[in-house]
Chains A and B, each alone.
Chain A
Amino acid sequence: MFVYEKKLQYPVRIQNPNPKLASMIISQYGGPDGELGASLRYLSQRYSMPYPELKGLLTDIGTEELGHLEMIGAIVHQLTRCINEADLHESPFGAYFVDHTTGVYPTAAAGISYTAASMQVKGDPMADLCEDLAAEQKARVTYDNLLRISDDSDVNDVLKFLREREIVHFQRFGEAIEKLRQRLNEKNVYYMNPALNLKK
């Protein structure tokens, strides 16, 4: 069950529209390392997590990622308000505009629509948590790159917050692996898959 809170996790208040920047920020909405993929990955991986601390962590981080998705949507929405025709000609935003006008659509900056092929739910806790470590690093790099491109201080304020969350989540997933290891065969953590409850 999910309950909507009518507020953002962190304020998004973009004074100056900038559709060109929006066409790059959109990658964190529906790109390969974006917030949609992050929330789906963690909320879906929960089902095969056998231990309470892992179920809890994936639920809590997955839920936070949904809040980040909303924040990225808010940035894109505010960057594309009140635009004029000159913003569309020979602008990187033009191609997006043709298909989606100023709606917020899950796509990568390079124009590829959101695909679940960029994430994985393997059904093995060690494999899934290693995927999550990598996912947090890739999202962190995306925010690094957006911060290098953007010179809008209102946007960067939000990007810095979101980038730091990737680092904290990397730490937590790393700790989750240690918790998992403590539950498994200490000599061989690959002795079996604890998510598989096989009948004998």
Chain B
Amino acid sequence: MERTPNRQPWPPMVSGAEPKRQRTGVIYQKQPVSRQEQTPSQDCCGILPARGMLANPYVPTQQTNSQRYATNRAFVRGTLYPSLDLPLGGMVNNDKPSTPSNELMALQFAMSDLAQYLDTHPDDTDAVTLFQEYAARCAEAKAAYEAKHGPILMKNAGENGTWDWICDPWPWEFCQEG
């Protein structure tokens, strides 16, 4: 697995030498970036009312047709949406190897992020359909994960006739790539 170097070059903490700014709002890209990331997409801009009311806070609403990362990329970036991917000092995580654990976590993460989007965009029927697609893939990934690591939910424990719910490792414990 490719690792990021321990020390990243840092943007200056004081003003003066202004870092190069991009229209995406991403400050300072030191690492090589893909073509997609170099081109600010239209959906970096959200929707604001034409006239705002005084004494009111406004955050632009995300557009309904935003570009999305594939689930494995969204997972390491912490968002499904390139338009919301605003890393500190251009530091981004590399993709993780494809293991049953990472596949399941990536799909569950995509569902969770999309669900929060849907909470504020409940009329986006395409996104509802996508949520259902993720859910179906997630069920498959969960079966593959549990075959290797045991039950995730207590309701699925004991299926082999022993109380496997308490088997180590627990999630917070250190173990090598699993």
**A residues 159-192 in Cβ contact with B at 8 Å:** 160-165, 167-179, 181, 186-187, 189-190
A162 neighbours in B (Cβ, 8 Å): 78
Q: Is B170 an interface residue (CB 8 A)?
A: yes
Question: Size range of the interface on B?
Answer: 35 or more
Q: Is A113 an interface residue (CB 8 A)?
A: no
Q: How far is the CA of A173 from the CA of B117 in the complex (A)?
A: 10
Chain A facing B: main interface SS: helix
Q: Is A88 an interface residue (CB 8 A)?
A: no
Contact status B101-A160, CB under 8 Å: no
Contact status A57-B78, CB under 8 Å: no
Chain B facing A: main interface SS: loop
Q: How far is the CA of A7 from the CA of B79 in the complex (A)?
A: 19
Q: Is B17 an interface residue (CB 8 A)?
A: no
Binds B, one of A19-27, A91-99, A116-124, A149-157: A149-157
B115 neighbours in A (Cβ, 8 Å): 60
Question: Size range of the interface on A?
Answer: 35 or more
Q: How far is the CA of A136 from the CA of B145 in the complex (A)?
A: 32
Contact status B112-A179, CB under 8 Å: no
Q: How far is the CA of A160 from the CA of B87 in the complex (A)?
A: 8
B113 neighbours in A (Cβ, 8 Å): 168
Measured between C-beta atoms, what is the minimum distance from A54 to chain B in Å? 8
5 A–B pairs (Cβ distance < 8 Å), ordered by A? A6-B151, A53-B122, A60-B119, A152-B6, A164-B86
- Additional pairs, 8, CB under 8 Å, beyond known A6-B170, A189-B53: A6-B150, A73-B172, A164-B87, A165-B78, A165-B79, A167-B79, A174-B61, A175-B61
